[in-house]
Amino acid sequence: MPQEKEKHVTIDFAFRRELDQIIGGDHHNYCYQCGACVAQCPAAQYSESFNPRSILLDALLGRADVLLGPDSPIWLCTNCYSCYERCPQDVRPIEVIIALKNLASNRDAAPSDVATMTENILKTGVSGLITPAVQRIRESLGLKPLGDYPVDEMLKILPDEGKQP
Ligand code: SF4
Ligand code: SF4
């Protein structure tokens, strides 16, 4: 009978160390793969490709190709924080996912819509475009116009962006 080939898994510790440096990312180290975070995850209920336990496993293996690739599941998270409350290990899966999103943005690997929203925030302080139509509708509803935000103050507290001229 032919012998089964031994399977090896290579862990990318460099990627894990990089994730450790992003706020919230270091908690991925505490995950013991119990799956409690999946039970009440609304994104996991509606998408077979989303599972916070699997995302944490990929983080533990340092699988940047999966987590930061074009089909990464991290962008399906609804930011509901159910997993934060369920996790017995204080992993705070949502915050690891946010750290992964930040890492993806740092590497210019975020989906184009997300990248556009980020650019809008850096320019105007809000994620959507402030068009004349938006302003007219706001005025008709008695709301004050958008656009008067201290973006320069915001850039000062963003360590990387604040350096830009
Ligand atoms: S993140 Fe927490 S709840 Fe989810 S598998 Fe890991 S230890 Fe369990
Ligand atoms: S925050 Fe994201 S990963 Fe956590 S339970 Fe909600 S959808 Fe699922």
Domains parsed from the chain with CATH numbers: 13-106 (1.10.1060.10), 112-163 (no CATH)
- A 10 A CB-CB count for 49 gives 11
Between the CA of 17 and the centroid of ligand 1 the distance, in Å, is: 19
**Other Cβ atoms closer than 10 A to 156:** 11
User: In the block, which residue shows the tokens 């992993």?
Assistant: 91
Whether residue 19 contacts residue 28, with contact meaning beta carbons closer than 8 Å, is answered with yes
Contacts of 45 (CB under 8 A, 6+ apart): none
In sequence order, which residues have a C-beta less than 8 Å from that of residue 17 and are 6 or more positions away?
none
pLDDT of residue 98: 97
Instruction: Evaluate whether 63 touches 12 at the Cβ level (below 8 Å).
Output: yes
109-156 pLDDT per residue, tens: 999 999 999 888 888 888 888 889 999 999 999 999 887 788 888 888
32 CA closest ligand 1 atom index: 7
| Residue 45 pLDDT exceeds 50 | yes
Query: DSSP state, 131?
Result: -
In this prediction the pTM is 0.84
91 lines ligand 1 (CB under 6 A): yes
